[in-house]
A = this chain, B = another copy of it.
Amino acid sequence: MARLSRENKASRPATARARRPAKAVAERPTRRRRKSSGDTPYHHGDLHEALLKAAEQVLERDGLPGLTLRAVAREAGVSHAAPTHHFGDLTGLLSELAAIGFRQFGAAMAAARASATTPPERGMASAKAYVAYAQAHPGMYGLMFRSERLDYSRPSLHEASEASFAGLARGVGASRQEQISEESLSLDQAAAIARAWSLVHGFTMLLLEGRLSKILNRSPEGTSAEMLLDAMVRSTGGRPPRP
């Protein structure tokens, strides 16, 4: 528990700094202060980046419900209203963080695609990488796909999620051994992409929420989530509907 009364003032002696007279300014080490300079100047230097890193840490440590504006500000050792000037509001911060997640996620998927050789292997590797990312970063995945407070009109988030989706579509196209256009899709192509995405996203969500445990418990001894995914994807296959 260890509830902190009021805001966490311990991380930074604000009162001492507040009554500091202006003559102490000269003792700053450099004009453009760097991080880990020992001192805590009024201007942080790159608080934007620091807040995003703090947010990622809070998300991994306390999960999605613990990811609040004030918690992030505490983690960064800064006043609770500071994030406002860099992200506008909570939606802004969460959206920028989700954009980072989509970039990480897209990179992991691309690596998985590159590691496989044959088209069927490629699909399976992608599916496993998809679930593996979500299991390794459940908070981030929840933020990306389950949060109500994301603003996809923000350029960074829009671009990152679009790129991630384009990778998925390209992967499905490759497993069907045909080119996927950016502009238009046939119904078969659209269905293939929707099927692959729905299957792996649904599996991931159910797995993260513990809804698959009933199935896993009734499965043969020692059946893991990955084995279930393997069996599930294999029987679905990446083959085109018309042989």
Contacts and interface: CB of A to CB of B under 8 A. Distances in A.
A185 B215 contact: yes
A133 interface: no
A178 interface: no
Interface residues of A, number: 49
A114 interface: no
Contacts of A227: 187
A57 interface: no
Interface string A212-237: 10111011100100011101101110
Contacts of A219: 184-185, 187, 190
Given A187-B219, A190-B219, A202 B212 contact: no
Nearest to A225: B194
Given A146-B146, A184-B218, A195 B199 contact: yes
Residues of A contacting B: mostly = helix
A87 interface: no
A214 B165 contact: yes
**Residue of A191, A201, A229 with most partner-chain B CB within 10 A:** A191
Contacts of A206: 194, 197-198, 201
Contact of A190 (B146, B187, B231): B231
Interface string A167-207: 00000000000000101111110111111011111111110
Given A187-B219, A202-B201, A228 B194 contact: yes
Contacts of A229: 194
A198 B191 contact: no
A36 B205 CA distance: 44
Contacts of A241: 234-235
B183 A232 contact: no
Contacts of A46: none
A195 B148 contact: no
A193 B218 CA distance: 12
A218 B183 contact: yes
21 contacts: A145-B209, A145-B211, A165-B214, A181-B218, A184-B218, A184-B220, A185-B215, A185-B218, A185-B220, A186-B220, A187-B219, A187-B220, A187-B227, A187-B231, A191-B232, A194-B232, A195-B199, A198-B199, A201-B206, A234-B241, A236-B236
